[in-house]
Amino acid sequence: MSQFDVGKVAILMGGTSAEREVSLMSGQGVLQALRSIGVDAYAFDPAERGLAELRRDGFARCFIALHGRYGEDGTVQGALELLGMPYTGSGVMASSIAMDKVMTKRLWHAQGLPTPAHVLLPGDALPAGQLAAVCQQLGLPLIVKPPHEGSSIGVSKVAQAEQLAPAVQLAARYDAEVLCEAFIEGEEVTCPVLGSGAQSRTLPVVRIQAPQGAYDYQNKYFTDVVQYHCPSGLPAAEEDEISRIVLAAYRALGCRGWGRADLMIRASDRQPFLLEMNTSPGMTTHSLVPMSARAAGIDYPALCLAVLEQATLDYARAPVAAGTLP
């Protein structure tokens, strides 16, 4: 398929999640890249327009550059399935599971894949004794995060027991439940995947060095203080093992099209641990999938086109006629 065979393309960006600002940056990057190679692409913000307008306006497929809720969690994927509108990235079930860090962990545990120990807490007030038990079970430091957010939103590192309650309160602002996770001391890495099923393959691992380990929302997108290494500089055997684990994790979730796994390598024994799978990765100037792809000889427009060409549906069928709904 050439870039001229993909039809009129909607770049879904913005949306209503806490990651709206990042999504707009990702979407604009994808939009300009696809236009630069001749794709008939247009911005489409679901926060401002109903998805039914995709059919009315003659779009043939969607590039999902939405992040977080209502964009990466299976909801917009389900709506596009009903419209018969092919879209990029994982389908309804894989998107929904991957967005839920707790369900992802349960599935990975069942598959024997390494992921940090965790405790799930309700987001409302907890007795001090229960919080103390979490510290005892997971040890300190530990990580507290909302299970359904991304981009490090609502995430805290708890080094002392008295910091746990406010960390839980912060995470509870974004989610009904709170995930407490054992902290893995070591190096942070990420590994993108392109393709589906047996044809899926990893791209080069990116090693991340953030000041004092603060790879937070601000440093991810709005500063240049984080150092990224790609090639990673890791021993070949370690990178091969990361690739193996990431592919197994991606396939276990049923992901397709593209994705990016985040991991920690434990310093004590160099064991990689899966943290999460991103099914609609960032595509900003600071994003890691374009960086990894570049190291593999794939420039940004070619990456966007490769993802777009894999747009599909969970349930292949004739598209809905323009101006109608199923």
Low-confidence ranges of the chain (pLDDT < 50): 1-3, 215-216, 219-222, 318, 322-323, 326
Asked whether the CA dihedral 281, 216, 293, 38 is positive or negative, the reply is positive
Whether residue 160 is found in the same domain as residue 268:
no
Q: Is 320 domain-assigned?
A: no
pLDDT at 150: 67
Q: Is 156 helix (H, G, I), strand (E, B) or coil?
A: strand
Shared domain for 211 and 111, answered yes or no, is yes
Give me the catalytic one of 14, 15, 17, 19. Answer: 19
State yes or no: is 278 an active-site residue. Answer: yes
Mark whether 230 and 195 lie in a shared domain.
Answer: yes
Predicted pLDDT of residue 129: 83
Is the domain of 200 the same as that of 243?
A: yes
Q: What is the pTM of this model?
A: 0.90
From 232, 243, 278, 292, active-site residue: 278
**Domain presence at residue 316:** no
Q: How many CB atoms lie within 10 A of CB 306?
A: 15
Cα(229)–Cα(187) distance, rounded to whole angstroms?
A: 12
Q: Is 309 considered catalytic here?
A: no
221 assigned to active site: yes
Selected catalytic residue, list 151, 156, 200, 287 = 151
Domain of 160? 118-182
Question: Dihedral through CA 90, CA 92, CA 98, CA 102, nearest 10?
Answer: -170
Q: Is 293 exposed, middle or buried (0-12, 13-18, 19+ CB in 10 A)?
A: buried
Q: Are residues 281 and 145 in the same domain?
A: no
Task: Identify whether the C-beta of residue 283 lies closer than 8 Å to the C-beta of residue 290.
Answer: yes
44's torsion region: left (phi>0), alpha (psi -120 to 50) or beta? beta
Residue 127: its pLDDT value, please?
74
Q: Note if 56 is an active site residue.
A: no
Look at residue 320 in the predicted model and tell me its pLDDT.
52
- 226 lies in some domain: yes
- Residue from 175, 181, 188, 276 carrying the catalytic annotation: 276
Q: How many CB atoms lie within 10 A of CB 174?
A: 20
3-class secondary structure, 163: helix
Question: What pLDDT is stored for residue 126 in this prediction?
Answer: 74
Q: Does the annotation mark 317 as catalytic?
A: no
Same domain, 123 and 172: yes
163 and 267 assigned to the same domain? no
Report the CATH number at residue 252.
3.30.470.20
Please count the helices (runs of H) and the strands (runs of E) in the chain: 11, 13
* pLDDT at residue number 69: 87
Domain membership of residue 150 (yes or no) is: yes
- State whether 102 and 218 are in the same domain: yes
Query: What pLDDT is recorded for position 213?
Result: 57
- The residues pairing with 241 across neighbouring beta strands, listed in sequence order, are none
Task: Classify residue 222: in a domain, yes or no.
Answer: yes
Same domain? For 104 and 218 the reply is yes
Phi, psi dihedral angles at 49 (to 5 degrees): -140, 145
Alpha carbon distance 43, 28 (integer Å): 8
282 is catalytic: yes
As given in the structure block, the two tokens for residue 282 are 């960032």
CA 68 centroid distance within chain? 8
Q: Looking at 69, 88, 107, which one is the last position of a domain?
A: 88
Residue 296, both tokens: 């593999």
Q: What is the pLDDT of residue 262?
A: 96
Region for residue 219 given its phi and psi (left: phi exceeds 0; alpha: psi -120 to 50; beta: otherwise):
alpha
Going by their DSSP bridges, the two strands 9-12 and 227-229 should be labelled as: unpaired
As for how many domains the chain has, the answer is: 3
Let me know whether 191 and 270 are in one domain: yes
pLDDT of residue 76: 98
Q: How far apart are CA 29 and CA 299, in angstroms?
A: 13
> What is the model's pLDDT at position 312?
96
Both 304 and 278 in a single domain? yes
**What local confidence, expressed as pLDDT, does residue 226 receive?**
84
Instruction: Say if residue 246 is in the same domain as residue 102.
Output: yes
**Of 262, 280, 287, 292, which residue is the catalytic one?**
262
